[in-house]
Structure 1
Amino acid sequence: MKNITFKRRFIFSILSVLILSMLFTFVGIYIDLKLTEKNIILRSNYYESIVPDIEKYISENKDRVLNKNFKGNLEKIIPLQGIEYEVVDSRGELLYGYFKESIVNTPVKLRKEPEIDKSSTPKMIKYVPIIYNNKIQGMVIFKYYLRSSASNPKYNWIVKYSENIMLLSPFIYIIIFTAIFASRLNKKLKIPLKQLMDGAEKIKNKDLDFTINYNSKDELGRLCKSFEEMRSELKKSLNHQWQMEQERKEMVSAIAHDLKTPITIIKGHVEGLIDSKRFDEDKVYRYLNLIDNNADRMTKLIEKMNILTKIEKSDFTLKYKKCNIIEFINEKSFDYNILAEDKKISFKCIINDERTSKALVSMDCYALSEILDNLISNSLRFTKEGGNIELNLNLTEEKMALCISDTGCGFSKKDTLNIFKKFYQGDESRSKEKGHSGLGLYIVKALVDKFNGKIEAENNEKGGAVVKVNIKLI
């Protein structure tokens, strides 16, 4: 019954109660009939059926019955456990008898014919006249009851109560079996309900480190499974929320640290200019250039913070638009080439279009631009003068594969494991020198994930860095 529904279980319980109640009632009736058949229990008219034989015996013995010495003979015929009697003479006065209390008040009026007083049923009083020589010489008065009784009078009380119980037995059995099945059902319900109540109390107290262990296919089993799934998802959600909260704290701390350096530099140079008694044009230009660079550094950091905040929102979605991807990459390459030339680095873009159709593709160009900008700026940051940066684009009907390689210092083993983590800065001293915040590649990874794409970082044969991005085309 563990895996059946409560509806079927309820119907099964009701039918079981009714069937068992009927069965036990019939068994009780059968036992009663067998005991009656063997005269262990005497039927209600048993003593009434014996009275005619006693009457016949009295008729045969006539006046002998009036003799007190005949009492022993008469009591051999009369079953005293169920019949009381009195013998009165011709004047209606008591001669002898067997009774607990007087059956009638004497003197009693004699009757010519046998009569039965049924006025106080089930108690029956029968008057049997003794007629001799056509005269009423006396009378025998019998008292018996029309009710079931035991052959042994000591057990009459059992028979008396069993009759009442027999009438009520179907209802008694229904109550008993209902209590039994209700108790069993309560035990089955108690285990999952206790787990659910304890679980609800723990959730109320912000404790999610527990499990609901109740495996069943019924409604409660499904409820417990749903509750456990809710607890698990809630725990994941809260852990994610706590993690995000912790990351926010770390981000604020990291940003405060990253902003402190350019602010200190700007403040120091401004104070230097203020304290100068005479202005040297070269010095002023140099100071202003440093102030401008550090202001740009802070601006870029704030821009990355804004992008990161936007990406990490639960409602953030990519905005796809039709675009010419070849033209878009060429425009971006033109910008990157100018930046590379300023640093005396060679930049090269190679495009391989394997598509049969040169149709426009759906793409979030802003997100793709952020990915390329961060990857190329990373290569520019760590590639020395005279080095090379190469952007490879391979287009098929199904996907777009980007590969950015450089001749820079590449990645260490630690870098390849942590490079896409938030605030990871690799070589700390080098990162500080270059103004690196540790957010660029994290943003790239987050956006690639939004595209349902893949990103990998490794070193090429010459020791430089290689980053591969695969994005499915819509």
Structure 2
Amino acid sequence: MGKSVKTSRWFDRLSLRHQFMYTSILILVCTIGATLLTWGLSTLYVFKAPGGFPAPANYYEQQIPKILSYVRKNNEALLNPASRQAVDQVIPLEGIDYQVMGIAGDVRYGTIAKRLIPSREELLHRINTTGRDEGKFIRYVPIINQEQELRGAIVLRYRLDLLASNPDKQLFMALFVVVNMAMPLIYLTIFTFFFGQVFSRKIKPPIAKLIEGAHRIERRDLDFEMEEIKGAKELKELGDAFEEMRRALYDSLDREWRSEQARREMVAAIAHDLRTPLTIIQGHAENLRDSETIRPERLHKYVNTILQNTGRSIRLLEEMTGLSEIEHPDFSLLPEPVDVASFIAQKTEEYTLLCSRKKIVLSSTCEDMRPSPKRMCLDAHRLGQVLDNVIANSIRFTPDYGSIRWNVRISEERIDFEITDSGPGFTAQDVRMVFNKFYKGDSSRSVEKGHAGLGLYTCYTLIQKHGGEIIAENNPDGGASIRFWINKLFC
């Protein structure tokens, strides 16, 4: 029993190709064994059959020496038709046809009526030879006189096959030959069907499990675990792949659910963040509407407040719209050849202008490590979006008269960026969560500055799509530091 189980387990670990090969060999071995056994039993039956063992296929050829002895004994006397009765007694007419002819090939008598030799010369040519005629062997035996002169010939025609050698048992021998010749095919069919059924019963359960699993997935029921599939190596691999697919679908649906939750949270967060500026805008607008007379300085203050909160609302909506675009499944970067040094110089000018409003000193360096500087394939728009968010974040939390340092290093395959500032730096919680969606750190400062906590999350997402990485940390000398790198793209 234990050996049988081990054999079954060994067979289950084989590939379908090897199982089919071994099954085919087993079918062939069983077919050969059963055929040989049948042939042996058939032969044994023939030996024991009534009437004795059948004559061999060359039975009549074995009678030739006896006939030749009779011919040499009687010779020229055989040319006399009166010898026919005696000749008929010597030659087994049921299996051998004969013809006695003269020296010129003329027919004297025999069971072959048609003339076989047209002339004396032809007879001399064929005497003592064996040939074929109408599928039978034909032998030309000379008839000579006492002076050893050729006087004629006796032609013997016979077949070399089992049926012809057993005229009284032809039906039995025909069935014997046909059945025994057909036994390999019969056994091959029987064993193929039998082992085919065994093989089918072996692989049907695992296939049924896979089909049931597919139906459950079709019904969107992913809360199950696929049982281990046995039966063949390929089936096990298919079962493992199916389980991996189920888990991937389960995880995908879970991510989809989480994404939907995040979307709802985003909508709620944006609605919450928009409520404050819109309330302020509404209050100032109502004051303007209800005031019959208003001093110019107060009017200017109201209008500025309305404009500031309108811009704040617009920025919040732009962040939400931009993030939705980036997170869309069809989103892809649009790389193009970019002169990186010129791009960095242009952005430096823009950020210098922004820093000047708070008297912040911006210093930048760009180090190109390549032997021969050339254009690099990048999505300049998205890279600019990342830099805008990181620099804006540094400016937001850097005090007046502070400093921001921006270092860029360009290599053959990637670009490294480091932005450090003299602001308060990150808290321990900030370092862990600063790239999370909707994370704002100090909520009072976030509301004051008017952002929804999506800027650095957008940077994180875009840098991942560039095949890079972004890290937030604190400088040993104080202040925050953002380091990230991106790979070059293919245009």
TM-score bucket (shorter structure)? 0.5 to 0.7
**Does residue 388 of structure 1 match 2:403?**
yes
| Paired residue secondary structure (1:206) | coil
When residues 173 and 399 of structure 1 are mapped into structure 2, their CA distance, relative to the original with a 3 A threshold, is: closer
| TM-score when normalising by structure 2 | 0.64
CA contact (8 A) 1:398 1:472 kept: yes
CA contact (8 A) 1:382 1:408 kept: yes
**Does residue 261 of structure 1 match 2:313?**
no
Q: Deviations over 1:306-332 (max 9, x none)?
A: 221221122322222223322222222
Runs of 4+ in structure 1 over 6 Å off: 31-37, 165-176
Cα distance in 2 for residues equivalent to 1:320 and 1:35: 88
CA contact (8 A) 1:196 1:212 kept: no
Aligned to 2:209: 195
When residues 18 and 353 of structure 1 are mapped into structure 2, their CA distance, relative to the original with a 3 A threshold, is: closer
When residues 253 and 26 of structure 1 are mapped into structure 2, their CA distance, relative to the original with a 3 A threshold, is: same
Shift of 1:19: 3.5
Aligned to 1:205: 219
**Does residue 278 of structure 1 match 2:288?**
no
Cα distance in 1 for residues equivalent to 2:352 and 2:310: 24
Cα distance in 1 for residues equivalent to 2:487 and 2:33: 72
Cα distance in 1 for residues equivalent to 2:337 and 2:189: 76
1:208 maps to amino acid: L
When residues 462 and 36 of structure 1 are mapped into structure 2, their CA distance, relative to the original with a 3 A threshold, is: same
Aligned to 1:439: 454
| Paired residue secondary structure (2:12) | coil
1:469 maps to amino acid: F
1:455 maps to amino acid: I
Percent identity between matched residues is 38
When residues 23 and 328 of structure 1 are mapped into structure 2, their CA distance, relative to the original with a 3 A threshold, is: closer
Aligned to 2:434: 419
CA contact (8 A) 1:404 1:467 kept: yes
| Paired residue secondary structure (1:351) | strand
Aligned to 1:240: 255
Cα distance in 2 for residues equivalent to 1:345 and 1:198: 67
When residues 31 and 326 of structure 1 are mapped into structure 2, their CA distance, relative to the original with a 3 A threshold, is: closer
When residues 331 and 168 of structure 1 are mapped into structure 2, their CA distance, relative to the original with a 3 A threshold, is: closer
Counterparts of residues 232-381 of structure 1 (less than 5 Å): 232-381=247-396
| Paired residue secondary structure (1:19) | helix
Cα distance in 1 for residues equivalent to 2:348 and 2:306: 29
Gaps spanning 5+ residues in structure 2: where?
A: 1-10, 53-178
Mean CA deviation greater in 259-268 or 382-391 = 382-391
Cα distance in 2 for residues equivalent to 1:397 and 1:10: 54
1:287 maps to amino acid: Y
When residues 217 and 18 of structure 1 are mapped into structure 2, their CA distance, relative to the original with a 3 A threshold, is: closer
Shift of 1:347: 2.3
**Does residue 16 of structure 1 match 2:26?**
yes
| TM-score when normalising by structure 1 | 0.66
Aligned to 2:151: none
Q: Deviations over 1:376-430 (max 9, x none)?
A: 1111111222222222222334432211111112111111111111111112222
**Does residue 184 of structure 1 match 2:198?**
yes
Shift of 1:448: 1.0
Cα distance in 1 for residues equivalent to 2:375 and 2:43: 97
Match of 2:479 among 444, 453, 464: 464
Cα distance in 2 for residues equivalent to 1:413 and 1:306: 30
Cα distance in 2 for residues equivalent to 1:13 and 1:469: 60
CA contact (8 A) 1:216 1:222 kept: no
**Does residue 408 of structure 1 match 2:423?**
yes
When residues 354 and 168 of structure 1 are mapped into structure 2, their CA distance, relative to the original with a 3 A threshold, is: closer
Shift of 1:289: 1.0
Shift of 1:267: 0.9
When residues 359 and 175 of structure 1 are mapped into structure 2, their CA distance, relative to the original with a 3 A threshold, is: closer
Cα distance in 1 for residues equivalent to 2:289 and 2:233: 81
Cα distance in 1 for residues equivalent to 2:270 and 2:351: 27
Shift of 1:442: 0.6
2:211 maps to amino acid: M
Q: How many residues align?
A: 354
When residues 426 and 166 of structure 1 are mapped into structure 2, their CA distance, relative to the original with a 3 A threshold, is: same
When residues 14 and 335 of structure 1 are mapped into structure 2, their CA distance, relative to the original with a 3 A threshold, is: closer
CA contact (8 A) 2:273 2:452 kept: yes
| Paired residue secondary structure (1:374) | helix
CA contact (8 A) 2:206 2:231 kept: no
Q: Deviations over 1:197-231 (max 9, x none)?
A: 22112202212242352367655345434433433
Shift of 1:304: 1.6
Cα distance in 2 for residues equivalent to 1:352 and 1:290: 43
When residues 278 and 226 of structure 1 are mapped into structure 2, their CA distance, relative to the original with a 3 A threshold, is: same
| Paired residue secondary structure (1:306) | helix
Q: CA RMSD in A?
A: 3.3
Aligned to 1:94: none
